[in-house]
A = this chain, B = another copy of it.
């Protein structure tokens, strides 16, 4: 077997790891595939954080969009080998699967794109079109941010992948004297989508163009075309096609359902490179994207650029100290915080709006240089964003935060409603409520939106009304009932269950959970109203934000599902999963009042009671490591789901910081550190986020916990507040801008010393366990004295 041209790869890899002790091991293809067995207790300072990323983390539990290799931050293209294809959840790069079933270029929320598969044999096309998967081994695999290399055993083909934002770049090394073939899979199931009608047409001997169509799904109901433009390094010798069970020799294109194309080459060096530009607007735009981003054929440079871009992004947080595993896990978390929610607009600022009766090509506003002022993004839900990306991104990726925020607002202008989860130019209506509100309000408070508060306010207000998304359940595209808004509006709660006479369309109809979310989201809206100077609106929504109280049952001490007739739903089991609460139970949901901990303490009988109950919950949850199993697929399992805290899903990930808000910051320090060390400490393909990472949410959470920064309210205050946790590293510096840094230093830190005994901000003693956004943004140093015991006297709130 001839070795693919690894020269370039070696050079790049060599440069990357030059400052690391693990240089020798990592430079070998096999190294990245295994977690380190023994390691020094302390790692050196991080020079190239991208080298520390462990892309295999949790990949035994991958869902379609989870993994990443040949991709840029927020890049439209995320190109990698798919080892499983069926469905949204169990697909993509699944570590324990043994065969590669194609290399899809688009792995996004509800979207797949073109899958390429190099093959090489003399079987007829009728055999190749159905039986093409190749065994591979992780031993022959190199993966780093922006690059992937593996070997297809069946065909003896070496594959290398890299990408720019909108262009996938593949290089195949075939065996001498063997056919050089490439399959374009245009149909079948690709992760979340069944691909429907597709077309490919030949432009010339070096170029093909076309599109695949993602059929509608329950979530993303309208079909989405993904256009591509392919450029080959060597002339096409012949195109053969199939459609269903028919094969066609010597064609110049193909179209239809369940179609595909085989491209044959005859390159003298047995190497074929393919550049694949993508667009959601047109094949012309796909070509434009390709030409703009990747005009040449320098694979090594493209791969190095990709790596450098990741390195730059990750270097926005510079850590010192901790073990090598902790460092690797930290940068893997940070890297995951930048996965998903990808760009869908083209270099010229065109994007597709599918919300109306016909597809509409729209144009983003341009700046003085003729560049789009921001890019449009796809996005899974913002459910839990208030405790994850809403905090992390504004600190270290403010431009990404702005782009995602403005993107949502732009969709709002197009659609008439700011969407819950835009995918393919339409709202997937993923999850309940309006979690976009706290996300956007937090950005507004942090000065990260171009849109003024006065313009944003009425747009958000609409979503908090009968005409908006509060009236719709999850994925409720064809009615406006499951959101239970009319009840929420008139009676102050969403009943559970809703009457059977109403529409049954949509999911996540869990009235008690919806009520809690709406109340919090109303609180967020009130903050924006205040900012916009509209006191009447502020007062109205502040009042509505107290609706959580309508479901507090004094007798049981829980938030309880209430029926339409006003009676509590019986029987009541606080640990019963999904009985009125979304992917959660009453024991977890009682804590979902992040905007009114004082009020919660009051109804519970005081802060001491609250703290004691929460402490009990944590002690109980600790028995199963604070999660419901170690993967999202296990969350509903009867053995795991009866937990009062679950750090494997969003509904209760704020709980550790409620202690601090109730006057017990030492417990926040203790439990948040326990969670860092337990839930987000692994570094294997088998275990990572113990649930659903969810497009950067849990990655962000892990980063925040390890930095010791959190925003219980989601950063809604005029000068948003950060609670302090228990930082993991000796030092973590946030690069706020080119000139400004904010560093969190810990002294005497250690796994057994989670407590903060002293806080200094820029050398001055600080007598509170929180910071203001403005304090961080001014830059400076936070110095924390760590201790094995809680401080005698806790700083006051």
Complex alpha-carbon distance, A253 and B222, angstroms? 13
Q: Identify the interface centre among A227, A241, A249: most chain B CB within 10 Å of its CB.
A: A249
| A175 at the binding interface (Cβ < 8 Å) | no
| A601 at the binding interface (Cβ < 8 Å) | no
| A251 at the binding interface (Cβ < 8 Å) | yes
Cβ–Cβ contact B215 & A357, under 8 A: no
Instruction: Indicate which residue in B197, B199, B250, B251 contacts A501 across the interface (CB closer than 8 Å).
Output: B250
Cβ–Cβ contact A252 & B215, under 8 A: no
Cβ–Cβ contact B478 & A215, under 8 A: no
Instruction: Indicate which residue in B211, B222, B254, B480 contacts A357 across the interface (CB closer than 8 Å).
Output: B211
Cβ–Cβ contact B357 & A282, under 8 A: yes
Q: Which of A128-136, A396-404, A502-510 contacts B (4 or more CB under 8 A)?
A: A502-510
Complex alpha-carbon distance, A477 and B283, angstroms? 19
Of the A-B pairs whose beta carbons lie under 8 Å apart in the complex, a sample of 28, sorted by A's number, is A196-B196, A196-B215, A196-B223, A197-B215, A197-B223, A199-B221, A199-B357, A201-B357, A211-B357, A216-B255, A216-B257, A221-B255, A241-B478, A248-B479, A249-B503, A249-B504, A249-B505, A250-B479, A250-B502, A250-B503, A250-B504, A251-B478, A251-B505, A252-B478, A252-B479, A252-B480, A254-B478, A255-B477
Contacts of A257 in B (CB 8 A): 215-216
Q: Distance in Å from the Cβ of A764 to the closest Cβ of chain B? A: 60
| A284 at the binding interface (Cβ < 8 Å) | yes
Using A479-B250, A505-B248 as known contacts, say yes or no to A357 and B197 having CB atoms under 8 A apart: no
| A143 at the binding interface (Cβ < 8 Å) | no
Contacts of A245 in B (CB 8 A): none
A interface residues with partner B (beta carbon < 8 Å): 196-197, 199, 201, 209, 211, 215-216, 221-223, 227, 241, 248-257, 282-284, 357-359, 477-481, 501-505
Contacts of A284 in B (CB 8 A): 357
Contacts of A196 in B (CB 8 A): 196-197, 215, 223
Using A283-B357, A357-B283, A357-B284 as known contacts, say yes or no to A253 and B478 having CB atoms under 8 A apart: yes
Complex alpha-carbon distance, A480 and B201, angstroms? 13
Complex alpha-carbon distance, A227 and B358, angstroms? 10
Q: Distance in Å from the Cβ of A453 to the closest Cβ of chain B? A: 32
Nearest 5 A-B pairs (CB), nearest first?
A: A250-B503, A251-B478, A248-B505, A253-B478, A221-B255
Give the nearest-CB partner of A200 in chain B: B478
Complex alpha-carbon distance, A275 and B547, angstroms? 47
Complex alpha-carbon distance, A215 and B241, angstroms? 19
Cβ–Cβ contact B256 & A209, under 8 A: no
Q: Identify the interface centre among A251, A252, A284, A481: most chain B CB within 10 Å of its CB.
A: A251
Q: Distance in Å from the Cβ of A196 to the closest Cβ of chain B? A: 6
Q: Distance in Å from the Cβ of A571 to the closest Cβ of chain B? A: 27
Q: Distance in Å from the Cβ of A476 to the closest Cβ of chain B? A: 9
Contacts of A254 in B (CB 8 A): 478
Q: Distance in Å from the Cβ of A416 to the closest Cβ of chain B? A: 13
Complex alpha-carbon distance, A222 and B257, angstroms? 10
Complex alpha-carbon distance, A256 and B221, angstroms? 6
Give the nearest-CB partner of A225 in chain B: B358
Complex alpha-carbon distance, A222 and B255, angstroms? 7
Contacts of A359 in B (CB 8 A): 359
Contacts of A201 in B (CB 8 A): 357, 478
Complex alpha-carbon distance, A227 and B222, angstroms? 15
Cβ–Cβ contact A503 & B248, under 8 A: yes
Complex alpha-carbon distance, A384 and B216, angstroms? 42
Cβ–Cβ contact A197 & B222, under 8 A: yes
Q: Distance in Å from the Cβ of A258 to the closest Cβ of chain B? A: 11
Complex alpha-carbon distance, A251 and B505, angstroms? 7
Instruction: Indicate which residue in B199, B211, B216, B502 contacts A256 across the interface (CB closer than 8 Å).
Output: B216
Cβ–Cβ contact A253 & B477, under 8 A: yes
Contacts of A253 in B (CB 8 A): 477-478
Complex alpha-carbon distance, A227 and B503, angstroms? 26
Complex alpha-carbon distance, A284 and B358, angstroms? 10
Complex alpha-carbon distance, A547 and B692, angstroms? 71
Give the nearest-CB partner of A282 in chain B: B358
Complex alpha-carbon distance, A733 and B477, angstroms? 60
Cβ–Cβ contact B503 & A251, under 8 A: yes
Give the nearest-CB partner of A217 in chain B: B256
Q: A248-B504, A251-B479, A282-B357 are in contact. List 18 more A-B contacts (CB 8 A).
A: A196-B196, A196-B223, A201-B357, A201-B478, A209-B357, A215-B257, A216-B255, A216-B256, A241-B478, A241-B505, A248-B479, A248-B503, A248-B505, A249-B504, A251-B478, A251-B505, A252-B480, A359-B359
